[in-house]
Structure 1
Amino acid sequence: MISVLFAVLTALSNGAASVLQRRAASTAPDSEAMRLSLIGHLLRQKVWLAGIGLVIVAAVCQAVALATGPIAVVQPIFVIELPATLLMAGFVMRVRLPRPVWSGVAAVTSGLALGMASAAPGGGSATVHGAAWVPALILTGLFEAALIAAALATRGNPRAALLGLAAACAYALTAALMKDAMARLDEGGAAALFTAWQLYGTAVAGVGALFLLQNALQAGTLVAVQPCLTLGDALISILYGVTLFGEELRTGWWVLPELLALGLIAVGCVALARSPLASGNATAPARARRVD
């Protein structure tokens, strides 16, 4: 229960951060794409800094969630980040949510429930044994390089989608490294944690993921980025959980409802990302002026 609670808190923080970062990144000129100057541009915007603050909160909550639960349980819960954020934003801004938003919320949440019930993830170890990290890091690097190369060869929403998937892969790697690092803390205390390469690998992967996400949000619309980011993070994290930590999922005929769950989540993410709340264009209704 602790891991689920902190996974939900992580999702809320990350979802709000994505919307704020998208609002800031959309103002950056195309000439700053895939350049460090993009970060310099964003550092001057309070909205982006607020998003980074939420990213830090999310990182702390995620560390607790991964330290207390399987990665195949924790990471898929993050698909609720966008619907939960839009619901909160609508409440705070006093914006009436249209029917497509409610349909998107229902699709994502029901897809998550169906997927978790069908896959029933669990088991596994807290640490990665032997040299299993070596092939995992090599394959991840090759996959990331292919995605970035393909993204640089295109523009607009296709680039945003490819970079969103690259960011998702980097976030999934960050989570796997973080889980392995936190296990060292349980086994050998602070000394074991700060001497583990996984801790510093977490920092490097996290910075890389953040850089890729900013470029994805700058390249295209949130509707192009969010489905790749949300589904990619969940699926690649599950892959890391199964291959590196030995976690288990149901297979056989259970694959059918699992695929249905993925479809529901994808459709829901697209519907939600189209919302004016997600793009930052929603406005609160004007108050009626009092007539004396």
Structure 2
Amino acid sequence: MADQPVWSAVAALAAAALFAVAAVAQHRAAAAVPEDRPLVGSLVRNRRWLAGIGADAGGYGLQVVALALGPVLIVQPLLVTALVFALPLAARIDGRRVSGRTWLRALLLVLALATFLLVGQPSSGEPTAPLRHWLLPLGVLLGVVALAVLGASVRPRAASPGATSADLRVATDCWPTTATVGTTAPATTAQPPGAPGTRADSRRALLFGAAGGALFGLAAALTDFVAGRFGDGLAAVLGSWQTWALVAAGLLGVYLQQRAFQVGSLAAALPAATVAEPLAAAFLGLTVLDERLRADGFALVVVVVAVLVLAVAAVALARAEAAD
């Protein structure tokens, strides 16, 4: 049908809106959990976080519809507009204003990612690559993820005796509240879960977000193979290492994303994940799945510049959020 691409775009934009709602809800829930408390145990009892998971599920459902009606080159650039939906929504809830520079950086990030996909036009590859082809690229990707997690796990020094960054950022769904920090520090009014943190908080959120996004990219690279195995029966699905790698990457990616939301602002965590996911998937596609970029000459230069702009825009968003 001639109008299918139009409905694909509508479904992709609706999915992006749901992903934005999910990110904002999950961020506010995770940011209210101090780092000295169990994150997962706290989140699974939080209605706001569970509602965010429901919004994520709805977004994925609409993403499947969008991909069924139109090509990836239409759907994927539209999905990254979740960042543009999420920033003003979070600011509105927190009673803040999104600055013009933040808008500019967010839009630049979205345009750079769209340029990478539209100009690079990565081709379909071979999802049935044997395990030996995965070993080196997968090791490189997981090594980068591990380094990012290690860097993000280094907590900044307390700002005052007895106080930690988690103490200073603790908040509840009933914000504002007043909490006593440490044993000698005076009572401090907690900041809202979405409020900007320190530069160290933003750095940690960026690293956790990038690590989670990279794992989501790994899951995306495995999805095509796992989906194709369903035609051979449930036993074929459960007997494939790719299935369990997909599940592990997805679960760990969700956890790291919540850690990013816990330690820093949405503007620091979400752009990093938005950038890392397609880049990790593209890396595995090129090195394992025999995918190719349909770009050469000047087009290839444009793709390289787009990737550099992606990284710079993501870091600039995190730095700007800490400076604000």
Is this a same-fold pair by TM over 0.5?
yes
How many angstroms does 1:160 deviate by? 1.5
Amino acid across the alignment from 1:27? A
Q: Is the contact made by 2:73 and 2:121 (CA closer than 8 Å) also made in structure 1?
A: no
State the partner residue of 1:116.
117
Amino acid across the alignment from 2:46? Q
Which whole-Å deviations, capped at 9, do the CAs of 1:163-200 have from their partners, x for residues lacking one? 11111111111111222201223x52555334433223
State the partner residue of 1:256.
301
For 1:138-157, list aligned pairs within 5 A: 138-155=139-156, 156-157=201-202
Partner SS for 2:80: helix
d(CA) in 1 for partners of 2:10 and 2:288? 24
For 1:1-292, list aligned pairs within 5 A: 1=5, 8-32=13-37, 37-62=38-63, 78-86=79-87, 99-100=100-101, 103-104=104-105, 106-125=107-126, 127-131=127-131, 132-155=133-156, 156-185=201-230, 187-249=231-293, 250-262=295-307, 265=310
d(CA) in 2 for partners of 1:25 and 1:240? 30
Q: 1:51 to 1:225 in 2, by over 3 A?
A: same
Partner SS for 2:81: helix
d(CA) in 2 for partners of 1:237 and 1:69? 20
Q: 1:11 to 1:53 in 2, by over 3 A?
A: same
Larger Rg: 2
Partner SS for 2:208: helix
Structure 2: runs of 5+ lacking an equivalent: 157-200
d(CA) in 2 for partners of 1:128 and 1:74? 24
Q: With CA pairs under 8 Å and 6+ residues apart, which has the higher RCO, 1 or 2?
A: 1
Q: Is the contact made by 1:82 and 1:272 (CA closer than 8 Å) also made in structure 2?
A: no
Which whole-Å deviations, capped at 9, do the CAs of 1:116-159 have from their partners, x for residues lacking one? 3321222323x232222333433333222222222223442222
How many angstroms does 1:98 deviate by? 6.5
d(CA) in 1 for partners of 2:28 and 2:141? 29
Q: Is the contact made by 1:115 and 1:261 (CA closer than 8 Å) also made in structure 2?
A: yes
Tell me the percent identity: 31
d(CA) in 2 for partners of 1:110 and 1:146? 28
d(CA) in 1 for partners of 2:75 and 2:128? 17
Partner SS for 1:30: coil
Greater Cα offset, 57-66 or 201-210: 57-66
Higher helix share: 1
Cα RMSD after superposing both structures:
3.8
Which whole-Å deviations, capped at 9, do the CAs of 1:257-290 have from their partners, x for residues lacking one? 22443455567667888999xxxxxxxxxxxxxx
Q: Give TM-score scaled by structure 2 length.
A: 0.67
d(CA) in 1 for partners of 2:60 and 2:77? 16
How many angstroms does 1:45 deviate by? 2.1
d(CA) in 1 for partners of 2:92 and 2:247? 34
